[in-house]
Structure 1
C-alpha cells in the first residue's frame, strides 16, 4: 500500500452525521467506539484533514426544527472544546489552511435540511454568524425552500424563499449543497447561483439507479460550473445488489469518463446509515480507497484531487480566502 500518498494528501470528507449519534447516545467524539463509523481515533487513522459535521434536521422534529439545530450546534461546540488539541473550527479558507498546518483536523459546520431556517432569511444569517458554512437545501421531502427527491408526485423546484436563500448564500459565500434536492430544484440552483455548488454526498445514477444519485446530465452540468460531488458510501447508493469498495470505484470510473477528474470528492455520509460498505467500513478504512484508486491505474495527481484537492479548490474559490466579515443585512 502506498501509505505516503495517502498520508501526504489533504483528505476532505464533505458529509458525516456523527453529531446526531453523539447527541443521541450522549457519547464523545474523543472516545473510541466499537459501533458507528466516526470517532477521533478513526479520523486520525483514516488521515482525514477536513471534516464536515452536518446538523441533520430530521422530520421527527417538525415544529421544533430551529431548536433541534441549536441542540446539534451545542453538541458540535462542546466536542470542539473537548477535542481542542486535535480539532479546530474552520470559518474560512485561511482557518482551514492554518488548522492543517498545525496538524489538526479542520471542522466545518453544515446543516442538512433547510427546515432549520423555519422560513426566515434572518435565521440563515444567524447560522452564518454561528459558524455554519454549508447548507443542504432540502432533505428528501418538501420544505420552505423546495422539494426533495422523494416528492415524486409534484417534482417541484425551488420556492420563492428557496431562491432568496440561494442568493443570500452567494452573498455570504456559503456553500450551497444540492444533495437530496429534486432534479427541478437542482437546475434552478445552477441557473441562479453565481458560485460553484456542491453535491456533498451523491453518486452516479447510471452506475446505481437511485433517486438520490445524479444523472449524467446533472454531473456534467455540475462539473461545467466548477462544482464538486462527494462520493457517498451509503451502500444503497453504491450498488443495488452487491455494494462494495470496488463498486464505489466504478462510480469514479464512470464520472471521470463523462465529466473528467476535477468534479470528484468524498462525502461519506458516515454515521448517516447503519451497516458497513464492504471494504470501506468506517473512516479508518480510507487508506483502502487510495489503494483501490492506485490499482485502477489512476495517477497520483488525480487521486489527490479525489481525496480532497477538488474540494479545496472549490472552497478557496467560494470563500475567496476571506473571513466573511461585515454581513450587512
Structure 2
C-alpha cells in the first residue's frame, strides 16, 4: 500500500529547532517514515506572513535550500521527486519519496518568472494563498471582501497548468476557489482541508465545493488539526472518520486522501502523535469494514492518480 501525506511543515520546523530530518522531536522524520514500505511525503516551504512581502521569495528559497540539504544528507533513505516516474523509482529502490511544495503564493512576489524558476528548483505544487490575500487571490481570512483570483492569479493558474504543477486550494477564499475551478485545465488538490458540514471552521470546504472537487477529478487531504475536525477543538479517531465518511458520502471514495498538516499544527488528535500513527486511521477503516481497495485509495492511490495526471 502506498501512503501519501500531501502536506507537512517539517522542514520549516527543523529550521526553527536546529534538528535534523533523519531523527527529531517533530511529527515527522525519515526514521519513522521508513516504517511505511512506500511513503510519499509532500514537504512545504511555508512563507509565514511575519516575513512580509519584501522577503517572501527569500524565505521560500531558504526553506528550499534546507530541504535539499537534508535530502542530500539522507539520500540513502529518501529521494526528491519531480514526477510519477521518480516516485515509482524511489519505491523500487526501497526509499521514501519527497515532493516539494510552496505554501503561500506570496513567494512569487507577483512574478511569473519566479514561478518558472521555482519549477526549475523542483517545486511541483503551490498552495496559492495562506490565510491572507496576496497578488494571486484572497485567503480565507479576507474572504469577507468577496475577492477571488486577481488577473495575475489567473495567469499563475494557467502557467501552472502548462508547466504541470499541482494547484493547491487549501487556504484560499471561497470566491478564489470557484474562480480557479472555472479556469483550471487540470485536476486540483486541496492538500489539507476538511468538511465544513462537520466542522464549521472557515478553513474547511462547503459541500458544494467538495462536489466540485469531485467534478474536477481532484483530491482533498484530511487535515488532522483538532480545530478543523470538530467545533470543540479536541478531537480523536472518531472525528477523523466522520470527515472521511462525510466527504465519501458526497463525492465518493476517489476524492479523499491525507494531508495531515504535521509540524504545522500545535495540537494533534488523541492517539495520533506523528506520522508513525497514521496506520491507526487505516486500521480503523478496516475495522469498520472498508474494503482494502477503498483504504488504499484514501491512503495514497487517489493522490498518486492526480500526480500522474498532472506531473506526468
TM-score normalized with structure 1 length: 0.92
| Aligned pair partner of 2:50 in 60, 63, 78 | 60
Which deviations, in whole Å up to 9, do the C-alpha atoms of 1:3-39 show, x marking residues without a partner?
A: xxxxxx1000000000111111121011242xx3111
Give the match for residue 79 of structure 1. 70
| Aligned pair partner of 1:214 in 200, 205, 209 | 205
Please report how far the alpha carbon of residue 155 of structure 1 lies from its aligned counterpart in structure 2 after TM superposition: 2.7
Please report how far the alpha carbon of residue 132 of structure 1 lies from its aligned counterpart in structure 2 after TM superposition: 0.2
Which deviations, in whole Å up to 9, do the C-alpha atoms of 1:271-317 show, x marking residues without a partner?
A: 00113211222101011011111122211100000000001111111
Please report how far the alpha carbon of residue 50 of structure 1 lies from its aligned counterpart in structure 2 after TM superposition: 0.3
Give the match for residue 51 of structure 1. 41
Q: How many residues get paired?
A: 310
How far apart are the structure 1 equivalents of 2:217 and 2:143? 28
Q: Secondary structure at the match of 1:150?
A: helix
Give the match for residue 251 of structure 1. 243
Give the match for residue 104 of structure 1. 95
How far apart are the structure 1 equivalents of 2:109 and 2:311? 25
How far apart are the structure 2 equivalents of 1:160 and 1:99? 38
Please report how far the alpha carbon of residue 47 of structure 1 lies from its aligned counterpart in structure 2 after TM superposition: 5.3
Give the match for residue 141 of structure 1. 132
Does 1:38 find its partner at 2:13? Answer: no
How far apart are the structure 2 equivalents of 1:78 and 1:180? 28
Is the Cα contact below 8 Å between 1:46 and 1:283 reproduced in 2?
no
Q: Secondary structure at the match of 1:133?
A: strand
Does 1:197 find its partner at 2:165? Answer: no
| Aligned pair partner of 2:108 in 117, 140, 143 | 117
Give the match for residue 22 of structure 1. 14
Consecutive unaligned residues in structure 1, runs of 5 or more: 1-8, 321-329
RMSD of Structure 2 on Structure 1 (CA): 1.0
Does 1:11 find its partner at 2:18? Answer: no
TM-score normalized with structure 2 length: 0.97
Is the Cα contact below 8 Å between 1:46 and 1:286 reproduced in 2?
no
How far apart are the structure 1 equivalents of 2:273 and 2:38? 15
| Aligned pair partner of 2:292 in 279, 300, 315 | 300
How far apart are the structure 2 equivalents of 1:192 and 1:231? 25
Is the Cα contact below 8 Å between 1:149 and 1:212 reproduced in 2?
yes
Which deviations, in whole Å up to 9, do the C-alpha atoms of 1:232-270 show, x marking residues without a partner?
A: 111111112241121110011111111100000010100
How far apart are the structure 1 equivalents of 2:192 and 2:143? 20
Q: Secondary structure at the match of 1:64?
A: helix
Give the match for residue 6 of structure 1. none
